[in-house]
C-alpha cells in the first residue's frame, strides 16, 4: 500500500461492538498488548486472555489474530486461545480448523539475517529477530540510528529481492508473499467467517493492508493509537481503549 492511499485521519471511535454479524481481525503488538522494549518481554495477560475467550464464544469462532509475530509466539502470548491466526504478516496462516499453510522461505533469508546481525553488532541497543520467513531489525533501543537502520535494510532488500516492510521502530526483510490483507480475504472465504462483516484493529503501517481489505470486503478498519493518515475509518486511543471496546462487545 502506498502512502497516497492513506487518505483518512480518523478521530471518531467505533460504535459499541455488535458480535452477531462481525468477524474480528486483531493485530497483537500495539493493539492487544502494549509495545515492549524487546519482543520477548510481551507475556500472557489474564485480562486479555479472558477477553479473547469471551470473543471466541460470542463470535462463534469468527476471530483471528493477524500479526507479524511467529505462530508459536502468538500462541505463547495469547495462551493458545485463538484458533485462526495469520503469522509473520500473512506468510503463515492457520485456519479455524487448525490447518496450517506456510510460504516457503526465500533463499536469501539467511543472508539477510547475517547482514542485519553484523549491522546490529556495530550499533548497541539494536536487536535482530530471525523468524525464518523474515528478519526484523528492532532499533527501539537505538533510536538515534533509525535512519541508518532503514538505509541498511533498503540496501539488503535491493541486493536480495526480499520485501522491505517498515514498522514502529523496526524494519523487516520478508519473503515476498501474502500480506495481512490477503489473510483477511482468505479467512473470509471459509467458515466460520463467511458472510460476516470484517473489522480489523491495528496500530502500525504494517496493518494498512488489513484496514484496506476490511473496507473493500464490506467492513472497516480501526486504528489503535495516535491520529495519523491511514486507511482505517475509526480510531481508539490506545491498547487499553481497544481492550475495553472488545470487552464491552455484545
Enzyme catalytic residues: 27
Omega before 192 cis (within 30°)?
yes
The alpha carbon of residue 81 and the mean position of all alpha carbons in its chain are separated, in whole angstroms, by: 17
Which strands, in side-by-side order, build the sheet including 234-236?
100-102, 92-94, 84-87, 63-66, 22-26, 197-202, 220-224, 234-236
Place of cell 525464518: 132
How many CB atoms sit inside 10 A of residue 71's CB?
19
CB 134 within 8 A of CB 91: yes
Residue 239: which of 222, 225, 220, 221 has the closest Cα?
225
228-232: long-range contacts at Cβ-Cβ below 8 A with a sequence spacing of 24 or more? 228/6, 228/9, 229/3, 229/6, 229/7, 229/8, 229/9, 230/6, 230/8, 230/9, 230/10, 231/1, 231/5, 231/6, 231/7, 231/8, 232/8, 232/10, 232/200, 232/202
Amino acid at each position: 500500500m502506498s502512502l497516497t492511499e492513506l487518505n483518512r485521519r480518523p478521530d471518531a471511535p467505533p460504535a459499541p461492538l455488535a458480535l452477531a454479524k462481525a468477524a474480528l481481525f486483531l493485530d497483537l503488538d500495539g493493539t492487544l498488548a502494549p509495545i515492549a522494549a524487546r519482543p520477548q518481554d510481551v507475556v500472557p495477560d489474564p485480562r486479555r486472555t479472558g477477553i479473547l475467550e469471551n470473543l471466541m464464544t460470542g463470535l462463534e469462532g469468527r476471530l483471528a489474530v493477524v500479526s507479524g509475530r511467529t505462530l508459536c509466539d502468538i500462541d505463547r502470548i495469547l495462551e493458545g486461545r485463538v484458533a485462526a491466526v495469520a503469522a509473520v504478516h500473512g506468510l503463515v496462516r492457520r485456519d479455524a480448523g487448525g490447518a496450517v499453510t506456510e510460504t516457503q522461505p526465500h533463499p536469501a533469508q539467511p543472508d539477510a539475517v547475517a547482514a542485519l546481525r553484523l549491522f546490529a553488532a556495530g550499533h548497541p541497543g539494536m536487536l535482530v529477530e530471525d523468524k525464518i520467513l523474515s528478519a526484523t531489525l528492532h532499533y527501539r533501543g537505538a533510536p538515534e540510528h533509525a535512519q541508518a537502520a532503514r538505509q541498511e535494510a533498503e540496501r539488503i532488500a535491493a541486493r536480495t529481492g526480499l520485501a522491505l516492510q517498515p514498522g514502529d521502530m523496526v524494519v523487516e526483510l520478508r519473503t515476498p508473499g501474502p500480506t495481512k490483507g490477503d489473510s483477511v480475504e482468505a479467512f473470509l472465504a471459509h467458515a466460520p467467517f463467511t458472510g460476516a462483516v470484517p473489522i480489523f484493529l491495528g496500530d502500525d503501517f504494517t496493518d494498512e493492508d488489513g484496514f484496506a481489505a476490511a473496507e473493500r470486503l464490506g467492513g472497516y478498519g480501526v486504528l489503535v493509537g495516535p491520529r495519523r493518515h491511514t486507511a482505517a475509518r475509526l480510531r481508539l486511543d490506545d491498547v487499553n481503549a481497544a481492550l475495553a471496546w472488545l470487552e464491552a462487545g455484545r
